[in-house]
Structure 1
Amino acid sequence: MKLFSESLMTELEAQLKTIHSETEEPMLYAEQAIKILIPSFEKLKTEFLKYTFEKKAEEINFFREIKPQFAAKLIYYNEIYNIETGKPFGIKKTIRKHYNTELIKLQTFFKENAEFYKYFKTGNQSLDNKYFIRGKHDLRHTLDSFYFQADQRFSTTHDYKVARILANDKIKTYLENEISKLEQKPNNVNTTNTKTQKWTGSKVALIELIYALHTEGVFNNGTSELKEVTSFFESTFNVDLGQFNRTFLEIRSRKSERTKFLNTLKEKLILRMDDADEN
């Protein structure tokens, strides 16, 4: 079981790495990650149900160390997707409040499970026979309602808590990084002797243009993050693009002319060139 799990995790990690290399948008990479994590988790469960443990220690190791690693990834990406799709439109202050609310939820979970958190993090194993062996539920220990809904052939009372702890650590880091980015001041742009230019086209059109330019890698040799580029355009043109990643999802969902603005730019530029040729 251990070898199968390690092989499955290696394969999964490679797939996740590919997803992150293709897009920096949280909603997009979270959505794609969930699509590969669910079948991967099902493979783990199918193999597990066919396997017979020779020793209790092997079963404990599976539910304390192996399964939570897979479950934590699914929890993490699902939470990132929910956090980003639930992110409000508005100024940075509004978005920062949204992220802080999510941090408070993590703190609440920690407080409610402080005893087990300490048990797990310190490497204590004295109660592993109760926490990580199937069919050993004890109502005197704090149990998640999730446990009673789960397939108890593939669950113990505390393997989900471990997965939640692992996921929460990553979610906390993600939220803190996003808040830090919001608090960063944009680089000053030298506007000496230049007239301020204000974007008077639609925000959707500007977002389509930004995605195209970022995809081509024309900023800092392709090393700039999409959010950095978007912030630059917002600052330069004094425009608030709100949840630009959600707008991009809407652009992707167009039934015809997904690159409507880019197509218009191309057509009008060609017409301008043709007119110049005739004069």
Structure 2
Amino acid sequence: MKLFAESLMSELEHQLKLIHLETENPIQSAEQAIKNSVAALEKLKIFFIKHKRLNKTEEIEFFRNIKPKFASKLIYYNEIYTIETNKAFGSQKTIAKYYKAELLKLKVFFKKNQEFYRYYRTANNYLDTKYFVRTKYDLKLMVDSYYFQADHRFTTSHDYKVARILANDEIKVFLEEQIQKLGRKTITIQSPSSLPKGPKWTGSKVELIELIYALHTEGVFNNGASGLKEVTTFFEYSFNIDLGQFNRVFLEIRNRKSERTKFLNTLKNKLMIRMDEADEN
């Protein structure tokens, strides 16, 4: 089951990459991506239903970690298609306001499902037999209405909710990127040749992004008034480095299975060692 799913996901991701390379229009690419995602999910369903020798542990693994990855692709591209087709023509300010309203919808979902969100993100498993085993549901555990319309051979009470959480992470990144594009301004800065050369960042881009997010979260720039994009641009210029789609990198950092603040933990440990050595001298 796991090998089949991994192979199928690899094939789907390859197809999605090709779609994005060949189609710049977000509506057209989303439309094609939906078709591919539906086809992949249908293949997964057929294989799963025929595979009848799953024990409870394998069933939980499938509905908690495997199926949601496929379903999240479909949810994501369907939402992007809806967002882009409903986007009204107007000024940059009007469109930015529209995207911000869509971001607020994601926050509403988070608040409504905060308890389950925390359960899933902290890798708890004490309710997995209720959440991710078929034919079991408890209305007190916030079951989506989708569950009662779905094929119960291929659905549990909460696998869709996990898929929605994964999709929302990606939708948030998409919306933030669109808002950033609309808000970009031409900034005239002094020519680097006329400025003294500073130190070069020789760590990884991921480490620098982790550091930037930590500093920005603490509000150490302009008493917390500086925006994340402004701070990131400053670091890019200061170290002559292109951090690219830093929002997506941060999403990958958040999805680490262990040590989400890996670089910050390393900094803390090494600074403590340096202090200890200084105390000994």
Does the aligned pair in 2 maintain the 1:37–1:74 contact within 8 Å? Answer: yes
Deviations 1:34-93 (A, max 9, x none): 111111111111111101133211000000000000000000000001000011101011
Larger RCO: Structure 1 or Structure 2 (Cα < 8 Å, ≥ 6 residues apart)?
1
Q: State the partner residue of 1:110.
A: 110
Moved more, 177-186 or 164-173: 177-186
- Structure 1 stretches of 4+ with a deviation exceeding 2 A read none
The Cα of 1:96 is off from its aligned counterpart by 0.7
Q: State the partner residue of 1:178.
A: 178
Q: State the partner residue of 2:22.
A: 22
Q: CA RMSD in A?
A: 1.1
The Cα of 1:187 is off from its aligned counterpart by 7.1
Q: State the partner residue of 2:156.
A: 156
Q: Write the letter of the residue equivalent to 1:73.
A: K
The Cα of 1:24 is off from its aligned counterpart by 2.4
The Cα of 1:6 is off from its aligned counterpart by 0.9
Structure 2 segments unaligned to the other structure (5+ residues): 189-281
SS of the equivalent of 1:140 reads helix
Q: State the partner residue of 2:55.
A: 55
Whether 2:29 is the aligned partner of 1:32: answer no
Moved more, 144-153 or 46-55: 46-55
Q: Write the letter of the residue equivalent to 2:95.
A: I
Does the aligned pair in 2 maintain the 1:30–1:78 contact within 8 Å? Answer: yes
Query: Which structure: larger Rg?
Result: 1
Q: Percent identity?
A: 62
- CA distance in 2 between partners of 1:178 and 1:186 (Å): 17
Q: Write the letter of the residue equivalent to 2:78.
A: N
- CA distance in 2 between partners of 1:46 and 1:94 (Å): 45
Q: Write the letter of the residue equivalent to 1:138.
A: D
TM-score computed with the length of structure 1 as normaliser: 0.66
Q: Write the letter of the residue equivalent to 1:11.
A: E
Q: State the partner residue of 1:214.
A: none
Q: State the partner residue of 2:261.
A: none
- CA distance in 1 between partners of 2:75 and 2:178 (Å): 19
Q: State the partner residue of 1:70.
A: 70
SS of the equivalent of 1:53 reads coil
Does the aligned pair in 2 maintain the 1:59–1:132 contact within 8 Å? Answer: yes
Q: Write the letter of the residue equivalent to 2:31.
A: E
Q: State the partner residue of 2:252.
A: none
Does the aligned pair in 2 maintain the 1:53–1:59 contact within 8 Å? Answer: no
Q: State the partner residue of 1:124.
A: 124
Does the aligned pair in 2 maintain the 1:72–1:167 contact within 8 Å? Answer: yes
Deviations 1:188-240 (A, max 9, x none): 8xxxxxxxxxxxxxxxxxxxxxxxxxxxxxxxxxxxxxxxxxxxxxxxxxxxx
Q: State the partner residue of 1:89.
A: 89
Structure 1 segments unaligned to the other structure (5+ residues): 189-279
